């Protein structure tokens, strides 16, 4: 393994650690599966705004929150669209 690839792996490990911590915090603060898709879209908007107006550290923070909400859509689902998915013949998100 080259020093460059080792450095990249360390960066990825650190980012994944931050995502896991934020996921735990978010699930504690906002438990359940209510409006996760809407929250994901809100976070994407905040990331876009930060990308154009804020320092890199803030962009990273917003990107982590987007990742967390995407993970929550997969793991927790979204009860607000459960009936719609059923009507469409789709399986539940969680």
pLDDT tens track for 52-87: 999 999 999 999 999 999 999 999 999 999 999 999
**Longest distance between any two alpha carbons in the chain, whole Å:** 53
- Grade residue 6 by pLDDT with cuts at 50, 70 and 90: low
Question: What does pTM read for this prediction?
Answer: 0.88
Spatial separation of the C-alpha atoms in residues 84 and 90, rounded to whole Å:
9
- Give the mean pLDDT of 13-35: 96
CATH code reported for the domain at 19-87: 1.10.287
List the domain boundaries for the chain: 19-87
Percent of the chain predicted with pLDDT > 90: 87
Q: Per-residue pLDDT for 2 more than 80?
A: no
- Give the mean pLDDT of 24-43: 95
């Amino acid at each position: 393994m080259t020093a460059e690839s080792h450095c990249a792996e360390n960066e990825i490990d650190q980012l994944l650690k931050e995502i896991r911590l934020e996921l735990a915090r978010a699930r504690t603060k906002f438990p359940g599966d209510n409006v996760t898709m809407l929250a994901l879209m809100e976070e994407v908007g905040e990331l876009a705004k930060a990308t154009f107006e804020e320092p890199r550290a803030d962009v990273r923070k917003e990107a982590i929150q987007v990742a967390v909400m995407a993970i929550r859509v997969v793991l927790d689902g979204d009860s607000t669209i459960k009936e719609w998915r059923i009507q469409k013949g789709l399986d539940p998100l969680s």
